Amino acid sequence: MPTPEPISPRSPRVTAARRLAKRNFRTKERLFIAEGPQAVREAVAHRGPTGEPTLVELFTTAEAAERHADIVAAARAEGARVHLAADTVLAEVSQTVTPQGLVGVCRFLDSPFESILAARPALVAVLAHVRDPGNAGTVLRCADAAGADAVVLTDASVDLYNPKSVRASVGSHFHLPVAVGVPVEQAVAGLKAAGVRVVAADGAGEDDLDDELDAGTMAGPTAWIFGNEAWGLPEETRALADAVVRVPIHGKAESLNLATAAAVCLYASARAQRAGRRA
């Protein structure tokens, strides 16, 4: 395999990649940064809706290029520009204190909300008013692990391509359709029209998740709405849902954090749906 060309710290390519730390530049260029071997490997394997490669550029240290020669070769085979970068250059492009040697520049991944509805999803996570990028990425990862069909980020939620969100998803950004910037009212109305029951997750919910499972109401297509980390869901959002459900606390813990509650809810739905298909 040919050795990647060394890149200067003053290269316009380095400057352009560094600017992607800012949301306005990401939005303008419709590009974002994926860091580390897992995320870059998933980016190499992913293609957009028209078949275009998602990874467009790769910065790698000499050590990482040797250790992850398969990823570098695959990136080159997909047509990505591959640059050999000194540690100092990678630190400029990366958004982490200790970069893992591979940083990819990727095309945006988001899907039209209408295409998600047209696919008749059975399990959807809706992030409404979620402001912490790490939590958003972790919930996306939970949805991916639970086998959800899609994730929707409302217009009041954090940027899907925030570097912390991308890192927290550990590659799940590339695994399932995600719609962004959808008003919560539009999201709920669209999902209901598609035959999906919309359930708001809230610690003060009137209904108990255990009771819902016992009653068999979780076996059908379901969308879970998850709210802000600190104050949950506003009343107007709760009012849009078909039910407001709390995760029961059987021990002495005061509450569950957002990502943990999302994992419990999504896995509960996934199990109920599998059981329903077997019945």
Measured CA to CA, the distance from residue 40 to residue 71 in angstroms comes to 8
**The pLDDT of residue 252:** 87
Average the pLDDT over 168-178 and give the result: 92
Measured CA to CA, the distance from residue 57 to residue 59 in angstroms comes to 7
Closest CA to 217 of 272, 263, 264: 272
CA distances for 128 relative to 51, 137, 243, 269, angstroms: 30, 14, 16, 19
pLDDT of 1 over the 70 cut: no
Q: For residue 49, what pLDDT band results from cuts at 50, 70 and 90?
A: confident
Average the pLDDT over 16-30 and give the result: 94
Residue with tokens 């060309």: 5
Contacts of 95 (CB under 8 A, 6+ apart): 21, 33, 35, 163, 164, 167
Measured CA to CA, the distance from residue 66 to residue 215 in angstroms comes to 55
Q: 22 is written with which tokens?
A: 């800012």
**The pLDDT of residue 208:** 92
Query: How do residues 191-221 score in pLDDT, each as one tens digit?
Result: 999 999 999 999 888 899 999 999 989 999 9
Contact 153, 111 (CB under 8 A): no
pLDDT of 54 over the 80 cut: yes
Q: Where are the domains of the chain?
A: 5-107, 113-278
Residue with tokens 């958004």: 95
pLDDT of 267 over the 80 cut: yes
SS3 annotation, 21-70:
CCHHHHHHHCEEEEEHHHHHHHHHHCECCCCCECEEEEEECHHHHHHCHH
pLDDT of 98 over the 80 cut: no
Average the pLDDT over 62-67 and give the result: 92
Percent of the chain exceeding pLDDT 90 equals 74
Tell how far CA 223 is from the center of its chain: 16
Query: How do residues 231-243 score in pLDDT, each as one tens digit?
Result: 778 899 999 999 9
Please state which of the four CATH numbers 3.40.800.10, 3.40.50.970, 3.30.1490.20, 3.30.1330.30 is assigned to the domain occupying 5-107: 3.30.1330.30
The mean pLDDT value of the chain amounts to 91
What is the rounded (10 degree) CA torsion for 233, 239, 243, 245?
20
How much is the pTM? 0.91
pLDDT of 266 over the 70 cut: yes
**The pLDDT of residue 279:** 59
**The pLDDT of residue 4:** 65
Measured CA to CA, the distance from residue 266 to residue 263 in angstroms comes to 5
Please state which of the four CATH numbers 3.40.1280.10, 3.40.50.300, 3.40.50.1370, 3.40.640.10 is assigned to the domain occupying 113-278: 3.40.1280.10
Q: State the CB neighbour count (10 A cutoff) for residue 183.
A: 13
Measured CA to CA, the distance from residue 21 to residue 36 in angstroms comes to 16
